[in-house]
Amino acid sequence: MATSPTTNHPTLTLKSGTAWNDAWRRCLDVAPEAFRDDGVRNLWAAAWQPDGRALPATSPVDGSPIAGAPRLDPATAQRAVRASLDQHRAWRHIPLDERRARAAATLDALTEHRELLALLLVWEIGKPWRLAQADVDRAIDGVRWYVDGIEPMLAGRAPLAGPVSNIASWNYPMSVLVHAMLVQALAGNAVIAKTPTDGGVACLTLAAALAAREGIPVTLVSGSGGELSAALVRAPEIGCVSFVGGRDTGAAVATAVADLGKRHVLEQEGLNTWGIWNYSDWAALSAVVPKLFDYGKQRCTAYPRFVVQRALFDEFLAAYLPAVRTVRVGHPLAVEHPGDAYPALDFGPLINAAKAKELQDQVTEAIDRGAVPLHRGRAADARFLPGQDTSAYVQPVTLLGPPPSSPLHHAEPFGPVDTIVLVDTEAELLAAMNASNGALVATLATDDRATYDRLAPQIRAFKTGLGKPRSRGDRDELFGGFGASWRGAFVGGELLVRAVTQGPAGERLPGNFPDYQLMP
């Protein structure tokens, strides 16, 4: 166990009322049907089931025990899918006005318990308070936008033949997973979700309990992705597979849905890059650098790679280094006095100690093979409780020239590591920005709009910003990816509804499919 080092901060304590036990007791009070003293339940066949084998789990915040996911066996998961199909066949005939009313009531319940949902995210996946609240609020506000405007989106469309199966990564349980589930249900589908293996089970269980009380046909199950794939991906009952995660797992899902001709939305990782070319607004860059470290870059739209014109490297460093030194790291609930406000942090721990060690090993290996360390944050500057386990924490690191043999050269680190590549020509700039065969977002910072207009279409990212970061987006903003970063239908706005409904015969959805690519 790694314990907290000596820091430059006064002795800190846990904010009053925010201990895991406090959050757990509140869950027991709010949703006793889903939470029991011995753990959480799976939700299927419209009932909370005392099945599954719960594995031990710990919080990335301090290594302390928290609720583990009750993992189902494949046979039980198949029964849950069949039960969801029965729900789907009934739900698809529920009038839209009633579906809207039930979704709106669910949003009201989520709003009532938003602080508890956010606190669970802090303990389960290590989000600082500001970002945890934002995750909850984006889910609520995003779905409310659909509730208010769903009717024209559904004109001439019908629910799918079977429920939508959701398999998502752990980093955005509310604003990505719960948001998608509620919109899918609003569109007339029963929904199934697998809790992420690495965290978020209590938060998702509470959200599912609130939705189920309002009559939303939700199934929530836990288990190994490999063991449950036959049920959640390949089962003939499934009408659509919605996946958010890494390329390795995504490739296996893509192969399965392509073989079966099944509707799918597969969001996968890519190396999102920030290019610097003939640029001079260094104050703007300095202002954005700390924000790019939100949640330790554990985001699908994080920017871990800067591609910098060599002639501007000195000016880039003069702007970048002072900014990265202001990044704030620590225990998300550690305060000087129990009644203090939540600490203002850019990020806390990574998702677990194993990921932290893997990333630290990659950094060490990259330096051994020639990368130049330009910045390494100090653990002494972080905010920790006395003696706490800090094994899941990684301080910000910046490397110049990661070697081609390093994973940090071509893949997304999913942690607080920036890498810098220097280029001399526009061709090198584009090659470096397209290193991962497709990305979700990119940014090109240049003073010349004509240069941006000429180069941006050659960057293989779904969204490209001019000197500003791009995000996944909310409400009517579309989202997708190029190359290996996305498979299947694009989403966002009306496209999310179209992805999970049946349109006219012969309809070709906008998306990245094996046999065609169609932009919105």
Domain-embedded: residue 328: yes
Residue type for 429, please? L
Last-in-domain residue among 203, 237, 268? 268
- Classify strands 39-40 and 35-36 as parallel, antiparallel or unpaired: antiparallel
Nearest Cα neighbor of 146 from 460, 497, 452, 395 is 497
- Residue 355 sits at the vertex; the CA angle it makes with 41 and 358, to the nearest 5 degrees, is 155
Domain match, 220 and 293 both? no
Q: What is the dihedral of CA 24, 57, 194, 76, to 10 degrees?
A: -100
Residues 294 and 371 in one domain: yes
- Helix 201-213, helix 20-30: angle, nearest 10: 20
Closest CA to 318 of 344, 298, 289, 347: 289
Smallest Cα–Cα separation from 423: which of 272, 270, 277, 314?
Answer: 277
- The predicted model scores a pTM of 0.95
User: What is the pLDDT confidence band of residue 115, given thresholds at 50, 70 and 90?
Assistant: very high
DSSP reduced 3-state for 239? coil
Domain range for 289 is 273-466
| Domain annotation covers residue 488 | no
User: Does residue 264 share a domain with residue 239?
Assistant: yes
More confident residue, 377 or 262: 377
Q: State the pLDDT confidence band at 408, using cuts at 50, 70 and 90.
A: very high
Q: Judge whether 140 and 114 are in contact, CB under 8 Å.
A: yes
The per-residue pLDDT of the chain, averaged, comes to: 94
Residue 514: band (very low, low, confident or very high) from pLDDT cuts 50, 70, 90: confident
Q: Are residues 202 and 263 in the same domain?
A: yes
Q: Which two tokens stand for residue 486?
A: 């996305």
Measured CA to CA, the distance from residue 318 to residue 315 in angstroms comes to 5
How many Cβ atoms sit within 10 Å of the Cβ of residue 99? 21
Q: Which of 212, 236, 268 is the last residue of a domain?
A: 268
- The per-residue pLDDT for range 426-435, each reduced to its tens digit, is 999 999 999 9
- Residue 207: partners with Cβ closer than 8 Å, 6 or more residues away: 110, 117, 173, 174, 178
Place of tokens 């509310």: 174
Cβ atoms 488, 517 nearer than 8 A: no
SS3 220: strand
Average pLDDT of the residues in 138-151: 97
Is residue 209, in this structure, part of any structural domain at all?
yes
* 420: in domain: yes
- Residues contacting residue 473 through CB under 8 Å, at least 6 positions apart: 463, 479, 492
What's the pLDDT at 8? 58
Query: Strand, coil or helix: what is 240?
Result: strand
Q: Which amino acid is at 137?
A: D
Q: With contact defined as beta carbons under 8 Å apart, do 465 and 441 qualify? A: yes
Q: What's the pLDDT band for 249 if we cut at 50, 70, 90?
A: confident
- 240 & 321 share domain: no
| 258 and 280, same domain (yes or no) | no
**Residues 140 and 69 both lie in one domain:** yes
How many structural domains comprise the chain?
A: 2
Q: By the 8 A CB rule, do 371 and 401 touch?
A: yes
In a domain, 514, yes or no: no
CATH number (domain holding residue 363)? 3.40.309.10
**Domain limit, last residue, from 450, 466, 482:** 466
pLDDT single digits (tens) 467-494: 999 998 888 889 998 888 899 999 999 9
Q: Of 201, 163, 199, which Cα lies nearest the Cα of 181?
A: 163
Residue 351 resides in a domain: yes
The per-residue pLDDT for range 368-406, each reduced to its tens digit, is 999 999 999 999 999 999 999 999 999 999 999 999 999
Distance CA 396, CA 327 (A): 8
Name which of 172-176, 240-244, 256-260, 363-367 the model is least confident about: 256-260
Q: Strand 486-489 to strand 263-268: parallel, antiparallel, or no bridges (unpaired)?
A: antiparallel
Quick check: 518 and 478 in contact, CB under 8 A? no
Same domain, 90 and 191: yes
DSSP 105: H
Q: Is the pLDDT of residue 516 over 60?
A: yes
From the number of C-beta atoms within 10 Å of its C-beta (0-12, 13-18, 19+), residue 60 rates as: buried
| Residue 474 within a domain | no
Q: Is residue 160 one of the residues assigned to a domain?
A: yes
Question: Largest Cα–Cα distance in the chain?
Answer: 66
Task: Let me know whether 209 and 325 are in one domain.
Answer: no
Kindly state whether residues 117 and 222 are assigned to the same domain.
Answer: yes
Distances (CA, A) of 66 to 58, 93, 199, 202: 5, 40, 10, 9
Q: What is the mean pLDDT of the segment spanning 67-96?
A: 97
The CATH number given to whatever domain includes residue 220 is 3.40.605.10
Q: What is the pLDDT of residues 297-347, one digit of tens each?
A: 999 999 999 999 999 999 999 999 999 999 999 999 999 999 999 999 999
Q: Which helix (H) or strand (E) holds 192?
A: strand 191-194
pLDDT value, residue 247:
73
Q: What are 516's two structure tokens? A: 């065609």
pLDDT of residue 261: 80
- Whether 338 and 366 share a structural domain: yes
Same domain (yes/no): 310, 209:
no
Q: CA–CA separation, 64 vs 41, rounded Å?
A: 21
